[in-house]
Amino acid sequence: GAGVSQSPRYKVAKRGQDVALRCDPISGHVSLFWYQQALGQGPEFLTYFQNEAQLDKSGLPSDRFFAERPEGSVSTLKIQRTQQEDSAVYLCASSPTGTGSPYEQYFGPGTRLTVT
């Protein structure tokens, strides 16, 4: 079946621009995660949704970052007034369950954001 998809795959933004990154999780998956990955590092947690509820946004770096999943499927990560330090790969992952096991997360290909 179809995996997690993300769009756009690449985004170049000028400093100060707003961007919106989209994630289409695997159909029926309850949990959705956003991560930020710097080159040569593991993913860093940003936020978590269980269905449409955003249960944790503690990883969002600043109030310029905002995420939503209004109907419990597609999610959008929005970054306002982008800064150079926002340049990274943004990964989306989904999982079929909530907080219980099994707990494997299935990742999309990521969106590479470059802020110039």
Partner 1 sequence: EDQVTQSPEALRLQEGESSSLNCSYTVSGLRGLFWYRQDPGKGPEFLFTLYSAGEEKEKERLKATLTKKESFLHITAPKPEDSATYLCAVRSLMDSNYQLIWGAGTKLIIKP
Binding site for partner 1 (CB under 8 A): 4, 31, 33, 40-45, 48, 50, 55-56, 58, 91-93, 99, 101-110
Nearest-approach distance from CB 109 to partner 1, in angstroms: 5
Choose between 14 and 104: whose C-beta lies nearer to partner 1. 104
Residue number, 66 or 106, with CB nearest to partner 1: 106
Paired strand residues for 44: 36
For residue 84, what is the DSSP state? G
CA dihedral sign, ordered 60, 57, 95, 78: negative
31 contacts 98 by C-beta, under 8 angstroms: yes
CB of 81 to partner 1, least distance (A): 27
Nearest-angstrom CA–CA distance, 97 and 29: 7
Least distance between partner 1 and beta carbon 68 (Å): 18
* Cβ atoms within 10 Å of 30's Cβ, excluding its own: 16
The residue (of 72 and 109) whose beta carbon lies closer to partner 1 is 109
